Amino acid sequence: MRPEHPIVLITGASSGFGEAMARLLASQGCRLALGARRAERVEALAEELTRAHGVKVYAGAMDTRDTASVDAFVEAAAAALGGLHVVVANAGLASGTHKLWEIPDEDMEAMLRTNVEGVVKTIRAGLPHLRKAGWGHVFFIGSTAGHQPYEGGGVYCASKFGVKAMAQSLRLELNGEPIRVTSVDPGMAETEFSNVRLKDDAKARAVYQGVKPLTAFDVAECVRWCLMLPDHVNIDEILVKCLDQASVHKVHRRV
Ligand code: NDP
Ligand code: 8X3
């Protein structure tokens, strides 16, 4: 049975969706483990949330591309919090908008290692704790890019199609165990995502010009809702876009 206040581990909690999930779930009384490479950000967030909501929050540096770093973070978090019920494999990024024939190795490797390998490493480390707890929920953060490819996004889209495949495989593999598997797949949302991808703040702002995009809290709310449903309900996948985005290629702009 789902505990009233599940213990939730979130990767990529230093900004965007991960930070918003931390804020929302702390307000619901969940204990949290927050990881990212920028330790100072997650540590400050942990302090703030503990002060505001009186919940226990473990925070630490971790790099999802590195097995030892992920394993150490997950073990320390579970020890500090008394176990884990939920893993949110959120950390991810896009790097550049190169066509397939021109993408530098560095960008390709950053996306595949973080969005595919990092997700595997996170879930592989977390799952024994969910099994031990006797109840669990694994969240993948996919994307519309995992449903519909677009020019300049070949490798990012491949990584998010990969996320979809992993979520579907894991759900089959865990069938019969008390562990839910959900993929939340957002469209355009204004976070640090485009700043990281384009490495240019003005260009990043232009992505959302004239549009009312999703916020990080809209995506966090999808996670909260799936998590709080009765035990026998599993939301496999949520494809969530802002009203202005009818598809990857059709976005209404007020200019
Ligand atoms: P942000 O850039 O705001 O957040 C990304 C988070 O991932 C940061 O906390 C970052 O922390 C962390 N991260 C990146 N690489 C690593 C790593 N190697 N190890 C640990 N943490 C890492 O973007 P979003 O919140 O938008 O992105 C979150 C997820 O949502 C990603 O998987 C993204 O692909 C996906 N997504 C985003 C959409 C959007 O339009 N914004 C739409 C659909 C999906 P740090 O740099 O401190 O390590
Ligand atoms: C992020 C959304 O459209 O930039 O996954 O790929 S998009």
pLDDT at 168 over 90: yes
pLDDT of 91: 99
pLDDT of 172: 98
Encode pLDDT of 197-242 as tens digits.
999 999 999 999 999 999 999 999 999 999 999 999 999 999 999 9
Residues forming a β-bridge with 180: 137
For residue 89, report the distance from its CA to the centre of ligand 1, in Å. Answer: 10
Q: Is 150 a catalytic residue?
A: no
For residue 16, report the distance from its CA to the centre of ligand 1, in Å. Answer: 7
Encode pLDDT of 45-95 as tens digits.
999 999 999 999 999 999 999 999 999 999 999 999 999 999 999 999 999
The rounded distance, in Å, linking the Cα atoms of 117 and 247 is: 28
pLDDT at 128 over 90: yes
pLDDT at 136 over 90: yes
Domains of the chain, earliest start first: 7-185+215-240 (3.40.50.720)
pLDDT of 6: 98
The rounded distance, in Å, linking the Cα atoms of 226 and 212 is: 24
pLDDT at 149 over 90: yes
Please give the average per-residue pLDDT across 110-139, as a whole number.
98
What are phi and psi for residue 57, nearest 5 degrees?
-130, 125
CB 139 within 8 A of CB 25: no
For residue 17, report the distance from its CA to the centre of ligand 1, in Å. Answer: 7
CA-nearest residue, atom 32 of ligand 1: 92
CA-nearest residue, atom 31 of ligand 1: 92
Q: Is the dihedral of CA 190, 196, 197, 198 positive or negative?
A: positive
CA-nearest residue, atom 23 of ligand 1: 193
Mean model confidence pLDDT for the chain = 98
The rounded distance, in Å, linking the Cα atoms of 195 and 121 is: 26
Q: Is the dihedral of CA 244, 188, 7, 87 positive or negative?
A: positive
pLDDT at 162 over 90: yes
Q: Are strands 250-251 and 245-247 parallel, antiparallel or unpaired?
A: antiparallel
Ligand nearest to the CA of 142: 1
pLDDT of 255: 79
Q: What is the pTM (predicted TM-score) of this model?
A: 0.98
- Nearest Cα to Cα of residue 91 among 120, 71, 56, 48: 120
Cα-based distances in Å from 57 to 30, 48, 78, 200, 238: 9, 10, 11, 33, 27
